[in-house]
């Protein structure tokens, strides 16, 4: 497996040309985004995530990409979303947070910068953040009920963070008008959701989990009360 260890290596690899040759005039943008652009990412452990914007993303028009999936896997690249321009325009009210993430944290491999003109509707963004946070709370409370049966009860934090942090990026944007530069900025605003140190003391663990769930509940209530 070939390892492109940095975004710059990926940009200077054969892949931009492969995308242009495979997709031709149908290509609008090919770009890296997601967790692979966040701190802590290691290309030795996880793949680069590449998504696309096409003029048409019909099954027939995606066939050239399908032919590249095996080579991409060998080169530690994972294809993710394949949007069309129309799809992006018509679903901004449904996925304001996802599009905010893409616009704010991406590296273009070829074509135009993705969602360069996108600005989320704040009311729609607030609703999505609240809805998803409330859903997370449902799962956290259920996990708490079974925490004594969990072999690794500290995992209640670890399992919830990949869902929680992207939502808090959206809440941070709602509160400040700016997209966070890193996780630390988010934790500074919401210190109660930092993962505490692992402990074998059950009383301490239960107290920490209680504080964690209370912190998420407080954030939900803050989002619910936002006037945007």
Confidence of residue 209 (pLDDT cuts 50, 70, 90): confident
What average pLDDT does the segment 67-95 reach? 95
Q: Flag the least confident range among 2-11, 13-22, 59-68, 215-224.
A: 2-11
Nearest alpha-carbon partner for 88 in 96, 80, 76: 96
**pLDDT recorded at residue 1:** 56
Instruction: Measure CA of the first residue to CA of the last residue in the chain; give whole Å.
Output: 48
pLDDT in tens, 35-54: 999 888 898 899 999 999 99
Its pTM surpasses 0.85 = yes
Q: How far is CA 20 from the centre of its chain?
A: 26
Mean pLDDT of the chain: 92
- In the chain, the largest separation of any two C-alpha atoms, in whole Å, equals 61
Contact 105, 33 (CB under 8 A): yes
Spatial distance between the Cα atoms of 37 and 202, rounded to a whole number of angstroms: 36
Contact residues for 34 (Cβ-Cβ < 8 A; gap 6+): 49, 80, 101, 105
């Amino acid at each position: 497996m070939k390892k492109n260890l940095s975004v710059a290596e990926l940009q200077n690899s054969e892949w931009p040309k492969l995308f242009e040759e495979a997709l031709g005039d149908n290509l609008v943008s090919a770009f890296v985004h997601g967790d692979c652009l966040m701190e802590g990412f290691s290309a030795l452990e996880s793949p680069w995530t590449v998504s696309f914007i096409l003029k048409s993303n019909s099954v027939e028009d995606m066939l050239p990409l399908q032919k590249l999936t095996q080579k991409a896997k060998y080169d530690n690249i994972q294809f993710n979303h394949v949007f069309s321009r129309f799809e992006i325009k018509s679903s901004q009210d449904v996925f304001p947070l996802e599009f905010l993430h893409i616009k704010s944290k991406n590296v273009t491999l070829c074509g135009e910068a993705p969602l360069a003109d996108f600005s989320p509707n704040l009311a729609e963004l607030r609703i999505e953040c609240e809805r998803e946070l409330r859903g997370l709370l449902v799962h956290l409370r259920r996990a708490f009920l079974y925490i004594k049966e969990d072999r690794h009860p500290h995992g209640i934090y670890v399992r919830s963070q990949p869902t929680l942090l992207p939502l808090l990026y959206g809440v941070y944007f709602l509160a400040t008008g700016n997209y966070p530069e890193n996780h630390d900025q988010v934790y500074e605003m919401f210190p109660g959701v930092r993962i505490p140190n692992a402990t074998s003391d059950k009383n301490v663990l239960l107290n920490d989990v209680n504080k964690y769930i209370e912190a998420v509940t407080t954030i939900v209530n803050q989002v619910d009360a936002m006037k945007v």
